[in-house]
Structures are given as structure tokens and as C-alpha cells.
């Protein structure tokens, strides 16, 4: 599992209208600054959760992308086209696959309904109306001040009154925009139920999520103006959803045992990687001999310096289920992080072979081990593995970084600097990326593929930079 802050995505997200499952209640909140998690096991599970829903919505599965956010709050949102962001907190707290599938169906409803595009139109219209209203209010304020000056000492408009005139139109526009968002949230709920029914899945999990929001007071509804909320109030939302969900003939259909088992392993993995030193022990005591419990404890042992315990536990997991690529991956990661890169290569090769080419994070980890082994005989394999990873996932900054290292150790400096530039660009470090791209371009013949890739980085201008 890899965790990093994505500067590129932060730039893309800030300032966009975002439809979130549990959005900030106030429209003036800043856009999210996200910390991206990369993990082959979780990404594959979420793809499997989403694929039938996307098909029911008429969305090509390759066009939509699910991105894991390192945040313990229970949330999910769509932004930047057909991207669904899911918080690790939602995955850790959801007890069944159906709960997360319902969340993903809701976010798919936003995509299928074109809510982001229409939301930007509403935002633009609101901006125009706000400016027009402010100009009209400014004119009224000037006229009122003129009348005040003519009244010679009569009580007239003070600074607070002037501010009220100016802020009045903005408040009306904000309420209009929030009303639009509440309508779209309800539309996404309805579409989610429709997609789940079309795929013979229950909307019960989705209903349980919204009931949890209400019962745990995630929405504070006392003394709240409902017209200043971006989402429907929980009681209203649950009432509408309950009626629609229970009309489905599949309302009581449970998750398959195999899917539940994968879900339990995912939750255990996240607790092991993200919980504090005692959380794994509390959730998965030593008396619990289930695979998820053992998985969580092995990860926690590795995180908190109990290397030999972690290695013994990883070997036991592999022995229990040798066809699980993520147990092999964990063993390789433990060895790699312990400075045993040469020993990490074999289990990571095994993991990559079982998981298949779509498991990019495993291939990046394998490439890391091949480069770190400091064996010239392994560099060609490292370049092949990492180049394939960057072709499948251009947003993997780690893949570009390790590919740059592999090229450098092979003496191919131009390719090394270009790969470094790509990695820095993905990480949102545009100044450093241009420096590396300049050095790389000087070594490529003009018009060649390497020269053109470097030129793309040099001519790129981040949003808001002009």
C-alpha cells in the first residue's frame, strides 16, 4: 500500500463543484485537499463493486476511475469528470460490501445525471447573478447615501446597512445554488436505487449508510436552516430512500460469501496500515484466528517494527492461501522495507503473476525491488516492468521515479531525466518537472517521441497560473 499527497489532483479539485455523499454543509468550504492511497487489492475490489453499476448506468468501466482517499471520515464524492473518490474511512466502517456498493451507486448517479457539468453551469449562472445583484445593490446604496446627505442629520444608512444591501443578492444566489445541489442529491439517490435494482442488488446497504448518518449525528439538524444545506436533511432523505429501496424485489438479497470475505480482508488491511499501534489489537485480538484478523496483525507488526513476527505471519498467510496475490505482495513489501530487496523479488514476481497486468501497484513494488537489488542483470527487467506500469497508469509518480532510477543505472541519462520529469509533473511539482524536462529535451533529437514528451511538460501551464 502506498500513500501520498497528489498535488496534480489537488490543483484539479480545488474550486470545482463537488457532489459528495457527506458533503460539507456550507457552500463556502474549501475544496478537498486529498491524500491518495494506491493499493492493488482495494482498487480491484472497488472495480468489481462498481462494474455492474456502471454498466447499468451506461458508463464504460474504462472511462470511470475510482480513487482511494486517505481520510478516516465516512465520505465519497465525484469530481473532475468521471472520477469517484472514496475515503478509507468509508471502507473501514462499512460492514458489508452492499453498503459501499450503495455509496458507489449514488456517486455513479451523479456521473450518469451529468450533475458536475450542470453544476458548473449553475455555478457560472450564480456568479453572473451575484455580480448583477451586487451592481444593482451598489446603485441603490449610492442613491440612498445621496438621500441621506440631503436629509441633513436624519437617521440614514450606516455601514452595516450598506453591507446588508450588498450581501442580500449573494445570499439569495447561494440559497438558489444549494437548492440545486439538494435536488441533484435526491436525483442521485433515485438513480442509485434504479441501478442496484437493474443489477439484482439490494439498496439496503445504502439505506443503512444514511440511517447511520442520522443516528450518529453526522448531520446536525437542530436549529439548522434547511435552505442553507447542500444535502437534504437526513429524515427527509431516509424517508424518500426507504420507500424506493423497499419496492425493489432484491431488497433482502445478501452479499455473496466470497465478496464478503474479500470485503473483510480489505477492512483488516486498512486497519493494519492506517490504525494506531493499538487499534489492530483491539479490533482483531490475538484470540481471533480468522484470515482478516491475522492479516491486520501482520501488517501492524511490520509497521511498528516487529519484523520477525511480521515475516512469520506473512509466511503463514501465504501457506493458508497461496493463490492470494496480496499475501505474496505483503511478504515482498515487508522484505523490501527491511532492506532485503533481493529476497523481496521472488514473492513480488509471484504476486504480479497471480494478480495480472491490471495490478499496477504490485508491479511498481516489483520494479522498486528490482532497482533496489543493485544488480545490473536485473535492470532490463526493471525497465520493462516499470515502463509497462507507467503505460497502464500515467499518474503513478512512484513508477516514474523508479523507472528514472533504472534508466540512470543503465547509463541512459536522457530517458532517466524524462522519466524524472514525468514523475515530478504527476506529483504537481511543475517547476522541478520543467527543469528535468529541459535537460532531457536537450539530449533528444527535435521531433522525436522523447523530445515531444519533454515539450508537453515544458508548455503545460497549471490552472490559474495565467
Distance of CA 355 to the CA centre of its chain: 22
Q: Is 288 helix (H, G, I), strand (E, B) or coil?
A: coil
pTM of the entire predicted model: 0.78
**Closest C-alpha among 358, 357, 351 to residue 332:** 351
Looking at residue 93, what is its pLDDT? 93
CA-CA distance, 208 to 94, in Å (whole number)?
10
Query: Residue 272: enclosing H or E segment and its boundaries?
Result: helix 257-274
Neighbour count for residue 227 (Cβ, 10 Å): 12
Neighbour count for residue 201 (Cβ, 10 Å): 25
Can you give the pLDDT of all 466 residues of the chain as single tens digits? 875 544 443 333 333 344 555 543 333 344 445 688 999 999 999 999 999 999 999 998 887 889 999 999 988 888 767 889 999 999 999 999 999 999 999 999 988 877 554 444 443 443 443 444 444 444 444 444 444 444 444 433 344 444 444 444 444 444 443 443 555 788 888 899 999 999 999 999 998 988 887 665 444 433 334 333 444 445 667 777 888 889 999 999 999 999 999 999 999 999 999 998 889 999 999 999 999 999 999 999 999 999 999 999 999 999 999 999 999 999 999 999 999 999 999 999 999 999 998 899 999 999 999 999 999 999 999 999 999 999 999 999 999 999 999 999 999 999 999 999 999 999 999 999 999 999 999 999 999 999 999 999 999 988 766 5
Looking at residue 54, what is its pLDDT? 95
**Closest C-alpha among 432, 376, 368, 359 to residue 398:** 368
Please report how the helices 449-459 and 430-441 are oriented relative to each other, as an axis angle in degrees rounded to 10. 150
Q: Between vectors from CA 335 to CA 340 and to CA 391, what angle results, nearest 5°?
A: 95
Looking at residue 10, what is its pLDDT? 33
- Is residue 195 within 8 A of residue 57, CB to CB? The reply is yes
Looking at residue 185, what is its pLDDT? 81
CA-CA distance, 3 to 274, in Å (whole number)?
10
Q: Phi-psi bin for 31: left (phi > 0), alpha (psi -120 to 50), beta? A: beta
Looking at residue 466, what is its pLDDT? 53
**Closest C-alpha among 267, 258, 248, 212 to residue 56:** 248
Amino acid at each position: 500500500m502506498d500513500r501520498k499527497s497528489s498535488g496534480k489532483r489537488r490543483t484539479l479539485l480545488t474550486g470545482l463543484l463537488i457532489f459528495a455523499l457527506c458533503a460539507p454543509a456550507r457552500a463556502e468550504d474549501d475544496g478537498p485537499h486529498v491524500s491518495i492511497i494506491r493499493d492493488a487489492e482495494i482498487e480491484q475490489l472497488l472495480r468489481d463493486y462498481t462494474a455492474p453499476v456502471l454498466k447499468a448506468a451506461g458508463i464504460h468501466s474504462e472511462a470511470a476511475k475510482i480513487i482511494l482517499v486517505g481520510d478516516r471520515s465516512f465520505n465519497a464524492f465525484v469530481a473532475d469528470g468521471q472520477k469517484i473518490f472514496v475515503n478509507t474511512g468509508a471502507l473501514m466502517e462499512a460492514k458489508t460490501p452492499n453498503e459501499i456498493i450503495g455509496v458507489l451507486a449514488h456517486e455513479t448517479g451523479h456521473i450518469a445525471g451529468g450533475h458536475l457539468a450542470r453544476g458548473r453551469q449553475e455555478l457560472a449562472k450564480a456568479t453572473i447573478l451575484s455580480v448583477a445583484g451586487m451592481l444593482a445593490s451598489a446603485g441603490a446604496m449610492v442613491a440612498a447615501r445621496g438621500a441621506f446627505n440631503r436629509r441633513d442629520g436624519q437617521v440614514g444608512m450606516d455601514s452595516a446597512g450598506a453591507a446588508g444591501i450588498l450581501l442580500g443578492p449573494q445570499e439569495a444566489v447561494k440559497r438558489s445554488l444549494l437548492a440545486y445541489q439538494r435536488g441533484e442529491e435526491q436525483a442521485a439517490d433515485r438513480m442509485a436505487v434504479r441501478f442496484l435494482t437493474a443489477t439484482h442488488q439490494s439498496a439496503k446497504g445504502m439505506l443503512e449508510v444514511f440511517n447511520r448518518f442520522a443516528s450518529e449525528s453526522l448531520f446536525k439538524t437542530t436549529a439548522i436552516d434547511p435552505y442553507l444545506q447542500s444535502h437534504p436533511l437526513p429524515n427527509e432523505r431516509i424517508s424518500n430512500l426507504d420507500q424506493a429501496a423497499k419496492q425493489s424485489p432484491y431488497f433482502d438479497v445478501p452479499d455473496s460469501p466470497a465478496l464478503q470475505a474479500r470485503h473483510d480482508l480489505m477492512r483488516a488491511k486498512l486497519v493494519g496500515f492506517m490504525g494506531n499501534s493499538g487499534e489492530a489489537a483491539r479490533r482483531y485480538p490475538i484470540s481471533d484466528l480468522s484470515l482478516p484478523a491475522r492479516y491486520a496483525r501482520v501488517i501492524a507488526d511490520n509497521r511498528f517494527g516487529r519484523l520477525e513476527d511480521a515475516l512469520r505471519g506473512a509466511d503463514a498467510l501465504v501457506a493458508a492461501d497461496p493463490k492470494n496475490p496480496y499475501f505474496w505482495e505483503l511478504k515482498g513489501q515487508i522484505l523490501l522495507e527491511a532492506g532485503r530487496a533481493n529476497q523481496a523479488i521472488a514473492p513480488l514476481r509471484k504476486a504480479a503473476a497471480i494478480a495480472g497486468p491490471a495490478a499496477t501497484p504490485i508491479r511498481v513494488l516489483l520494479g522498486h525491488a528490482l532497482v533496489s537489488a543493485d544488480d545490473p542483470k536485473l535492470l532490463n527487467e526493471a525497465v520493462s516492468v516499470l515502463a509497462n506500469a507507467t503505460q497502464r497508469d500515467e499518474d503513478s509518480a512512484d513508477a516514474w521515479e523508479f523507472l528514472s532510477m533504472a534508466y540512470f543505472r543503465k547509463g541512459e541519462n536522457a530517458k532517466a531525466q524524462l522519466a524524472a520529469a514525468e514523475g515530478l509533473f504527476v506529483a504537481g511539482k511543475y517547476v522541478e518537472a520543467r527543469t528535468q524536462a529541459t535537460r532531457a529535451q536537450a539530449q533528444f533529437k527535435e521531433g522525436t517521441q522523447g523530445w515531444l514528451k519533454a515539450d508537453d511538460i515544458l508548455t503545460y501551464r497549471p490552472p490559474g497560473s495565467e
